[in-house]
Amino acid sequence: MQNENTNPITKRIVVKARMELAVPALIGSGEGENTDSDIMRAADGRAFLPGTSIAGALRDLFDAENERDLLFGSLESGRMSPLWVLDSDFYAVRGGQKADAEIIEIDGVALNDADRFNKTAKPQAKYDSEAVDAGALFDLRLMLVVRENDAAESLIELFDELVLALLHGEVRVGAKRNRGFGRTVCKGVCGRVFSKEDSTLIECLDFDWNNTELPVYTPEKEEKAKDTDDGRYAVMEKPLRLNGSVMIRDFKNLRGKEQYAHMSANGKPAIFGTSWAGAFKSCLLKWLPEKKDLIDEMFGCQYKDDGGKTVTKPSKLMFDASILEAEDKNVEGYRQVVRVKIDRFTGGASDGALFTSRPWFGGTTRLRIRYPAGRDDFEKLLDFAIDALDKGMLTIGGETAIGRGVFELAEVQNG
C-alpha cells in the first residue's frame, strides 16, 4: 500500500527572464589552464552559469533570514527549497543567429600593503582572469513549487519580489559583485502559472522552456520604486569629465602591434569597480590614516585572528563599472601613442625601446557607489574622496606620473 502524500503540490509558477550582462562577469571554475582564473565551461566548451551560482546571487537579495529560509530552504530545519534554479548558457546574437558569447581576459595586480600610499604593485603579483564580456545574454529559468502546507501567499509575494529585482537590474552574477562585475539588465520576463485549482497542474509535465510564445509574467506584488532596495541602501552618483587621458592596462584585447591598451567592456572603454575602489581606499588611507578602522570596514580587509587564521571582512560598498563616452560622438577617444623608454642614468632614450600604447582621451562617464543607508560616516568619507578626485589629488589607473587618470565633476546636462 502506497503512502498518502500529506503535502501535495498545489501550484507551479515557471518564469524565464532574458538577461544581458551590462559589464563583464567573472564566473570562475577554479581552473587555471588559460589564465589564473578560467571561466566555467560546459562539456562543449561554451560558457555557462551554474544554477547554484544564480541561486546564491538571488539569495543575497534578501536580508531577513526567515525570508531566505522560506524561499531557498534551510539546512538547519531540513526544509527543501521550493525554488528551482536551472543552469544557464551564455550566448550572443550576431546577424540574427545565436552564437557563442565573447570571452575576454582581464588583467589585474595586487597592491603592496607595505606601500599602499604610493599604490605600487606587489612584486610578481600580477594575475589575469577570463570573463564573459558585456553584451552576453543568458536565459534565467526559475520554477516555484507551492505545496498545500506552505504559506503560499508569503511565498508567492517573495517570488514576485525576486522577479521585480530582475526587472530593476538588481541581480549581479559571478565574483567581485561589489566591484561592479556581473551587473545585469533584464530584457523581459515571461512565464506561466500551473494550478491544481484550475486543473492545469498536470500540464507542467509538458512545459517547454524554449517556447517563444509564453505570456509576459506580471508580478502580483505592487511595483516598488527603482533603486530603492527597500531602503537598505543609499546611492551616490556623480557625473565626471576626463581631463586628458586614462590608462588601465589591458595586455590581451589589442589592435595591431600595440603593447597594451586601456581596458574595455564589449568594445567600450571602461573603468571597473576594482580600480575605483582601490584608488578611493588608497586616497583615504593616505589623507586620513586615523580613520583606518572605518576605512577597512567600508572597503573590506583581511586580518589574522588570535589563532593565526586569515579572516576576510567583505566590503560594504558597491562600485559600479563606469563606461567612458566621447563628447564628440563622431570622434573615437582611443588614440595610439608611441613612446620611448628613458634611460635612468643618462636621461636619454634607450636604444630599441620604442613602444606603442592605446589610452583613452577625454569624454565623460558616471561614478555610481552604493552603500548602507543611514551610514553618514561612510557618506562623509566618500564625499572627501570625490572632492579629492575633483581637485586632481585622486587619480585613476596607471601612468599618472605623466598626467593620466585625472577627472573632475561635470555639470549635469538637463534635457
- Condensed to tens digits (0 to 9), the pLDDT of residues 170-217 reads 899 998 888 889 999 999 999 999 998 888 888 888 888 888 788 999
- For residues 243 and 196, membership in a common domain is answered with no
- For residues 288 and 159, membership in a common domain is answered with no
Domain boundary among 209, 230, 251: 230
Give the pLDDT mean for 124-151: 87
211-250 pLDDT per residue, tens: 878 899 988 765 544 444 456 789 999 999 999 999 998 8
- For residues 382 and 335, membership in a common domain is answered with yes
Q: What is the pTM of this model?
A: 0.81
Domain boundary among 201, 230, 259: 230
Residue 259 is placed in which grid cell? 603593447
Domain that holds residue 339: 232-409
- For residues 250 and 163, membership in a common domain is answered with no
- For residues 211 and 140, membership in a common domain is answered with yes
Domain harbouring 345, CATH code: 3.30.70
- For residues 37 and 78, membership in a common domain is answered with yes
Percent of the chain with pLDDT over 70: 88
The answer to whether residue 23 sits within a structural domain is yes
Domain boundary among 230, 247, 278: 230
Report the residue count for the chain: 415
Task: State the average pLDDT for the chain.
Answer: 86
Check whether 324 has a pLDDT greater than 90.
yes
- What count of Cα atoms within 13 Å lies in the side-chain half-sphere of residue 299? 22
Q: Quote the pLDDT of residue 114.
A: 47
50-80 pLDDT per residue, tens: 999 999 999 988 888 888 999 998 888 778 8
375-408 pLDDT per residue, tens: 999 999 999 999 999 999 999 999 998 999 999 9
- For residues 376 and 302, membership in a common domain is answered with yes
- For residues 208 and 297, membership in a common domain is answered with no
Percent of the chain with pLDDT over 90: 52
Distances (CA, A) of 255 to 139, 243, 248, 267: 32, 24, 16, 11
The answer to whether residue 3 sits within a structural domain is no
- For residues 144 and 293, membership in a common domain is answered with no
Three-state DSSP state, 235: strand
The answer to whether residue 168 sits within a structural domain is yes
- For residues 331 and 279, membership in a common domain is answered with yes
Q: Quote the pLDDT of residue 145.
A: 94
Give the pLDDT mean for 359-376: 95
Instruction: State the CB neighbour count (10 A cutoff) for residue 91.
Output: 17
- For residues 185 and 322, membership in a common domain is answered with no
- For residues 317 and 362, membership in a common domain is answered with yes
DSSP string of 290-357, one letter each residue: GGHHHHHHHH-EEEE-TTS-EEEE--S-EEPPEE-B-SSTTS-SB--EEEEEEPTTTSSEEEEEEEEE
Q: Quote the pLDDT of residue 400.
A: 92
